[in-house]
Amino acid sequence: MHTSPEIPGLALGQSTETDELGALRLAHWRLRHELHALLDTVAVYRQAATALADENSELRHELVRTRALSTRRTTVGADQVFELTIACDEFAADVVALAVGEALEDTHAAELVQAWQLIAFALADEAIGTDLPTSDDMISLRMRHSARAVGIEVAALDG
């Protein structure tokens, strides 16, 4: 068997086929690496799209929660009635306490306002419970107060 002078170990007449085979292998290698690069790029875009979808979903839930905020003030005889409905999230008890403070600050002493805020916070915290609330759950505060008396009701409303 005669060997090719260009490539040691090759028989004569196989040089052209080997060049073609080498060129095909090189083209295959390039295409495979381009394909892997494209697959990596697609994976990055998918991760980014998923992150954007999650953020978009969270923003939509936030918009729903802000739209869900409802307050109503009425007067019944000498009593004032304040009703608040908000999204039941980790800040709901704080918001309930703040709302009670704002409603009472003009008619009651600061010490009494703080005491009622603590009571309202505890009631809201108890109404929310230990389970993590879903984005559909709401909490309702109903407060009836006058210069001499205060009544507070806090209830969790399932969505």
Domain final residue, candidates 38, 67, 96: 67
List the domain range (segments joined by +) for residue 31. Answer: 1-67
> Model confidence over 22-33: pLDDT tens digits?
899 999 999 999
Q: Is the pLDDT of residue 102 over 60?
A: yes
Angle CA 61–65–66, to nearest 5: 120
- pLDDT, tens only, 4-52: 444 444 455 556 678 888 899 999 999 999 999 999 999 999 999 999 9
Total number of domains constituting the chain: 2
1 and 79: one domain?
no
Q: What's CA 47's distance to the chain center, in Å?
A: 16
Q: Residue 47 in contact with residue 98, Cβ under 8 Å?
A: no
Both 129 and 109 in a single domain?
yes
**Residue 87: how many other CB atoms lie within 10 Å:** 23
Predicted confidence (pLDDT) at residue 111 exceeds the cutoff of 90:
yes
* Total residues found in the chain within this entry: 159
C-alpha span between 5 and 121 (Å, rounded)? 92
62 and 12 in a common domain: yes
Kindly report the pTM of this predicted structure: 0.54
